[in-house]
Amino acid sequence: MTLNSATSTGMKIRGVIGLLGLFAGLCAIFVLVVTVAEGWSEHVQQSWPEVTAAVQMCSVDTYQTFKNGQVLLIVCQVRYRIGGDEVAAKVHSRSTRSTEEIGLMQEWVDKHQPGSSMVVRYDPGKHTTAVLTETDMPMGEPRTPGNVRLLLMFSVACACLLIMARALAVRDMG
C-alpha cells in the first residue's frame, strides 16, 4: 500500500464518519422539533379540565396501515357530563406492532369493562376530544420522555462521530 492510497483511504473513512455525524445531527434536529411540538401539546393537555368518564366499551383493536402494516392499540369509548350535556368521546393508546404487548393490553381492557370509570381530560374548545394524561394504560403514557431519550441518543452520536472525524483529520495532518 502506497502513502497516497493510505491517505486516500483515511480521507474516505474520515469523510464517511463525518457524513454519519452530520446525518445524526440532522436526525437530532428533527427529533428536537418533534419533541418540542409533542411536549407542548402534552403540556397544554395537562391544563384541560378533568372529568370522570363512564366506560362504554374498551377493546384491543387491530388496524392495517399502509406504512406500518398491522398495528395494535387500545380504544375506549367513554361518556361524561359537562354541565348538563352528555358527551361521547374516544380515548386510545399509541399503536404498537409488538405482539408481545397484546397480553398487557388485553389485561388492561379486561379491567375496564362497560360501566367502570376512568378520569380523562377534555379539550374545553372541543368537548369530544379527550385524553388520558396520567394512566396505567399500556402504550398510553406521554411521548415526550421517549422523545427526549431519542434526542439525547442522536445528539451524542452526532458529537462522537464529528469528534472522531476531526481527530482523524488532525492525525492525518500531523
CA neighbor of 52 nearest in space, from 77, 76, 78, 91 = 78
What is the pLDDT at residue 3?
Answer: 47
pTM as predicted: 0.73
Task: Tell me the per-residue pLDDT of 88-129, one tens digit each, with 9 for 90 and over.
Answer: 999 988 888 777 788 888 999 999 999 999 999 999 999 999
Helix-helix angle 144-173:3-46, to 10 degrees: 160
- How far apart CA 128 and CA 53 sit, in angstroms, is 12
pLDDT mean by block of 10 residues, the chain; 174 residues: 56 87 96 96 92 93 78 92 92 83 88 92 92 81 89 96 88 68
Cα separation, 158 vs 102, whole angstroms: 35
Residue 121 β-bridge partners: 50, 131
